[in-house]
Copies of this chain bind each other. A is one copy, B any other.
Amino acid sequence: MTSQAITEQIKLKKSFLCVGLDPDKKKLPPHFAGIADSIYEFNRQIIDATQEYAIAFKPNIAFYECLGIEGWKQLELTVQYVRDRYPGLLLIADAKRGDIGNTSKKYAETYFHHFDFDAVTVAPFMGSDSVIPFLEYPGKWVILLALTSNPGAEDFQFLCNTKQERLFESVIKQSLTWGHQENLMYVVGATKASMLVKIREIAPDHFLLIPGIGAQGGDLAEVARYGLNSNCGLIVNSSRAIIYADSTDRFAEVAADKAKEVQLQMAVLLRESGLLE
């Protein structure tokens, strides 16, 4: 998917929302207990209910992997469902993979060949040869961790080097030489929204994936203020605040309400920035 196609979807839906599909069996509404392919069924209903308000869906692989073969099957069913039913949606594998070159090549095969994801999140710690194999698939995206939304982000990502450059800045600067605006995005936590000023200086035109809205407490208006560019340039994720907003058999309806709430805020922000007519 090209950046232009993403921007077109954003304008069409007046939304830059990504819904995180992090299904935890213990948190599913009780009527899913004991039914076959319960995670896929839950995802399917969430997708149907919220796709009108979202441009992307992002399964976090941990929530599938922890169930072994069964989890892998739920993920395959979910990806296939989105591909068949809603071809315009951006599908992001939140995998945070990264290994030596010949091994990252296998991970890239997993997400871009075995599965047909559009994008995969990648961890930068191991450097260029751990990231580049993911960048070699035309039309696919690496979303590189730069500044994450969790408390532990403080441990290393802000370490300042002797050139007065923080680690997250070095990650973005270096990686700009590995990829370009059509195959590389960055993860920047909404909980660190003011850092977007610095990040937009380094990477004014790249898309950014922003987690941390909702359960993690990030502020959407602040993210938009510092992060929007002339192509929108933002994809903002919410997982728990949408998919677990209700735990009864009305969960999908309530998830849709929550997604719509965010979408309406996004429409205002897009309009204020001149991105919508």
- Which A residues contact B (CB, under 8 angstroms)? 22, 24, 60, 62-63, 65-69, 72-73, 76, 94, 96-101, 103-104, 106-107, 109-110, 113-115, 123-131, 145, 148-157, 159-162, 167, 170-171, 174, 216
Contact = CB atoms under 8 A, between A and B. Distances in A.
A64 to B, nearest CB: 9
A168 B155 CA distance: 12
Q: Taking the full assembly, how many copies of this chain does it contain?
A: 2
Contacts of A69: 69, 72-73, 76
A156 B131 contact: no
Could you say which of A63, A99, A107 has the most chain B C-beta atoms within 10 Å of its C-beta?
Answer: A99
14 contacts: A62-B97, A65-B106, A66-B110, A66-B114, A67-B114, A68-B115, A69-B73, A98-B123, A100-B149, A100-B150, A100-B152, A101-B150, A101-B152, A156-B167
The 7 A-B residue pairs whose C-beta atoms are closest, nearest first, are A127-B152, A127-B155, A62-B106, A100-B150, A129-B152, A128-B152, A66-B110
Contacts of A123: 96, 98, 123, 125-126
A173 to B, nearest CB: 11
Contact of A151 (B97, B124, B125, B128): B128
Contacts of A103: 22, 60, 62-63
A170 B156 contact: yes
Contacts of A129: 150-152
